[in-house]
Amino acid sequence: MQKNRIDIEGAAMSYVDQGQGYPVLLGHSYLWSADMWAPQIEVLARHFRVIVPELWGHGDSAAAPSGTHDMAALARHHLALLDALEIPRCHVVGLSVGGMWGVHLALAHPSRVDRLVLMDTYLGAEPGVSKDRYFALLDQLEAAGAFSDALLDIIVPLFFHAGGASGPALPNQLRDRLKTCSAAQIRTAIVPLGRLIFGRNDLLARLAELPAARTIVLCGEQDIPRPPAEANEMARKIGCLAAQIPLAGHIASLENPAVVNDFLLNWLPQSA
189-232 pLDDT, tens digit each = 999 999 999 999 999 999 999 999 999 999 999 999 999 999 99
> Span 152-163, mean pLDDT?
92
22-39 pLDDT, tens digit each = 999 999 999 999 999 999
> Residue 263's CB: how many other CB atoms inside 10 A?
18
The CATH class, in words, for 4-126+202-267 is alpha beta
Q: What angle do CA 105, 38, 47 make, to 5 degrees?
A: 75
Which is nearest to 174 in space by CA: 201, 155, 161, 202? 155
Residue spans per domain, the chain: 4-126+202-267
Query: Coil, strand or helix: which one is 92?
Result: strand
126-135 pLDDT, tens digit each = 999 999 999 9
| Helix intervals (H) in the chain | 38-44, 71-84, 97-108, 128-144, 149-155, 169-179, 183-185, 191-198, 228-238, 252-255, 257-267
Determine the pLDDT at residue 3.
96
Full-model pTM: 0.96
Alpha-carbon span 42 to 133, nearest angstrom: 36
Query: Coil, strand or helix: which one is 206?
Result: helix
Residues 6+ apart with CB under 8 A from 112: 79, 82, 88, 89, 90, 105, 106
Tell me how far apart the terminal alpha carbons of the chain are, to the nearest angstrom. Answer: 27
